[in-house]
Amino acid sequence: MISRTARACACFVGVLGAALTVPATAQAQVITPCSTSALIAAINTANTGGPTTIVLTPLCVYSLTTPAETGTRGPDGLPIIRRSIEIRGNGATIRRTVGSPPFRILEVLGGGLTLSNLTIRGGDSGADTGGGVLVDGGTVFRATAVTFTGNQGDNGAALSGDTADVTLLTSRITGNTTTGGGAGAVYNDGSLLVQSSNIVDNTANTGGGGIYNEQGGVATVRNSVIQGNTARTTFGGGIVNLSGSTLRLQSSTVALNTAATDGGGIYNSGTLFVTSGSIFGNYASGRGGGIFNQTGGTVSLTSSTVARNQATSGGGIYNAAGPGSVTRAFTSIVLNIPDNCAPTSTSCG
């Protein structure tokens, strides 16, 4: 268990044009020229009652070499967010410079944070959670057209939502890695919405290469792709959904993920709903190439496909929870290796 701890050119030009028309008045702070110290100062100003909209220099790279602040969850490259702040990226990148001491990029501790058209790169939370961004208890985080890449941490390498409200829209999370625990991309034990986004090619040292949902977390993945993620030593190559938690997979694809043990695509011991989904081409060295349903878990499949997954047993679905815990309607479970359903042919509902 883990501790609690774009793109279309026209769209970019529209956002860029709108951002550049924002005057440097009480309504917004416009960071120009490209200056890391000016960005830090702008966040401090917003935290202390100044304008809470921050507009970054288009295509600027804001390089962080030392922490700006250290909180209870470790050092942060930028000041901790304590009010409801919006940062408009205009295609900019905020990154931790290679060779710098470990620190995450951002922490949200109060109010909330809205990010758009931005890249978060190279954060490192060391032995703590949230390598790129940590959203602490009860706060709100919204990301639109944001890329998280090259971040690492003990868990939640790109993003960690700790009893928070997190929304990812038209965003991309790729190439992030945990050094100790799970959640190669996103950790959630609050509320998580992933919509029209891609979570691809992330690696968890333990489980949940893409998403790790636990401790009562409610996660919805809609019109999105979870692909090519890896659980290096345990289960849930694409997604882990644990007891007491709920995962809704809607019109989304979980494909080509890999687990060292069970659940190449999804490892579930909570409540899982798959609607108009595709579980395709995942691999588990143990059981449940597509889905592994653990004792106590329930799975409902509607208008979905589970195909061409592979495992030692239950290539499509391995249902350890027993009869009745997997139900399906208008769903195809086909062409899985070595079998579609295990431990018996009726295990898939």
Cβ 169 vs Cβ 197: under 8 Å: yes
SS3 232: coil
- 26 occurs within a structural domain: no
From CA 163, how far away is CA 326, in angstroms rounded?
28
Q: Is the pLDDT of residue 224 over 60?
A: yes
| Cα–Cα distance list, 212 to 12, 123, 242, 267, 334 (Å) | 31, 19, 8, 10, 27
The pLDDT assigned to 9 comes to 32
pLDDT at 345: 86
Our count of domains for the chain comes to 1
What value does the mean pLDDT of the chain take?
93
Residue among 136, 73, 142 nearest 113 (CA): 142
Assigned domain for 148 exists: yes
As a whole number of angstroms, the distance between CA 130 and CA 123 comes to: 9
Alpha helices in the chain (DSSP H): 9-20, 36-47
Answer yes or no: is 181 within a domain.
yes
Percent of the chain beyond pLDDT 90? 91
> Predicted confidence band at 220 (pLDDT cuts at 50, 70, 90)?
very high
What kind and span of H or E run contains 179? none
- Whole-number Å distance between alpha carbons of 80 and 82: 6
* Residue 164 in domain: yes
> From the CB of residue 251, how many other CB atoms can be counted at a distance below 10 Å?
16
Confirm if 166 and 188 have CB atoms less than 8 A apart. yes
At 202, is the pLDDT very low, low, confident or very high (cuts 50, 70, 90)? Answer: very high
Return d(Cα 101, Cα 105) in angstroms, integer: 12
Q: Is residue 324 part of a domain?
A: yes
Residue 296 included in any domain: yes
Structural domain for 107, as ranges: 59-342
If DSSP codes are grouped into helix, strand and coil, which group holds residue 45?
helix
- Residue at token pair 């959904």: 241
Q: Does the residue 268 lie in any domain?
A: yes
Alpha-carbon distance values, 136 to 105, 159, 165, 316, 341 (Å): 14, 11, 9, 37, 40
Q: Inform me whether the pLDDT recorded for 330 exceeds 50.
A: yes
What confidence tier does 26 reach under pLDDT thresholds 50, 70, 90? low
Let me know if residue 24 belongs to a domain: no
